Structure 1
């Protein structure tokens, strides 16, 4: 009950200011009919309840599971298996991410199905999976995060020169949605578990940067997709 109360307060604090602004805009600026205002309020209630239950599930289920898996994977003591499981988990959790599916459905509509939504979802998921696996390699070999980020972003800027112009903003949006409420907490929890076992230094030095790396994967993946479709 304590977790439910804490998350309910957090959600209400986040939703209430937006609700007030939208409500005032509907009445003062748009002069929306009463039916639309009631639809907005009913939808808001559903969203708030759903968000509370979703975050409770993450807090009591997904985060502990991610950390437990992160602790268990290194016990295999086989780098190949560690990389494979990291890729697989990154792929699956991203494929289930609501933000990725929303982005994919919107792009499907805007592009008139030129880019099928499932293609974009799997491209983003593969990109995240590869870079979550790269994060494991970073921890195992103690590679500095800043060097990996520098090399990757140089690659992104070079690749953007060969990508059709309309794919560039899509690719960066794809990178942003991986920081959603499902993918980011799981990747962070997985990283905490893995670094607590594998890291040769203080694990706090390696706990951070997993989401930063994971967000690069979809950018590169969608740009490559743009080169193929372009």
Structure 2
């Protein structure tokens, strides 16, 4: 059985994470001394949080390097050699949906949206909207790799459609949509699906991994914007229907009151 060196290069990873967190700690210490002046208990809680973040981030990045990236590339190479290349589009759709469904940043965004909107925009609805949007984008990316379609064939029309949809969507959904585009390109999508796309581009004959393998993340950032804007348009129609029903109900109530008053007068 092949020996897997799980912690190979882990010391280097610890150094990288430390250099990433130290500037934030320095900035916090500055504000703590001159502005924040937090209590001792809060500082202890913060210190515990920093330690957990340091350990968790280091372990996650180590797992990415020894697990996600190699497995993604190997899967891409195997899938790229399949005789029926069109099946990659279906596999890309499923993987995109699952990766977004498991994305921690997406769940945090959905929680905040539901909390701020007082439940008007449910978490589950946002989660499925973003997952379907990313799934479609990865399916399109696989099709782009298979058939050699230039990236700008998707990006230019996509952003033009987004600009048009902004005109018909509400300001609330416009703001959420553009944040969703950044959130969807989280560690699950970037580490696993991007590695798989590069593996597919390397395996498919006539494809250059640099030209065809990259560019998927740009589509992943675009698709949630479109899906959330479409959701905003649907919500806008729903609001208009509710307003019409309320207006009709008000008119009926006013007519009934007038009839009642006329009967009393007679």
The TM-score, its normalising length taken from structure 1, stands at 0.95
Corresponding position of 1:54: 60
Q: Which runs of 5+ in 2 are unaligned?
A: 1-6, 237-266
Maintained 8 Å contact 1:86/1:133: yes
Corresponding position of 2:162: 156
CA drift of 1:73 comes to: 1.9
Q: Which runs of 5+ in 1 are unaligned?
A: none
CA drift of 1:211 comes to: 0.5
CA drift of 1:199 comes to: 4.8
Answering whether residue 220 of structure 2 is matched by residue 214 of structure 1, we say yes
Corresponding position of 1:168: 174
Root-mean-square deviation over aligned CA pairs = 1.4
* Residues 86-128 of structure 1: per-residue CA shift (max 9 Å, x gap): 1101111111111111111111111111111121112111111
Whole-Å Cα distance in 1 between the matches of residues 78 and 234 of structure 2? 38
Moved more, 129-138 or 62-71: 62-71
Corresponding position of 1:7: 13
Answering whether residue 32 of structure 2 is matched by residue 43 of structure 1, we say no
Moved more, 150-159 or 30-39: 30-39
CA drift of 1:134 comes to: 0.3
Maintained 8 Å contact 1:8/1:52: yes
Corresponding position of 1:185: 191
2:66 partner SS? helix
Find runs of 4+ consecutive structure 1 residues off by over 4 angstroms: none
Maintained 8 Å contact 1:178/1:184: no
Rg comparison, structure with higher value: 2
Whole-Å Cα distance in 2 between the matches of residues 151 and 121 of structure 1? 25
Moved more, 70-79 or 160-169: 70-79
CA drift of 1:226 comes to: 1.1
Corresponding position of 1:18: 24
Whole-Å Cα distance in 1 between the matches of residues 194 and 70 of structure 2? 11
Whole-Å Cα distance in 2 between the matches of residues 72 and 2 of structure 1? 26
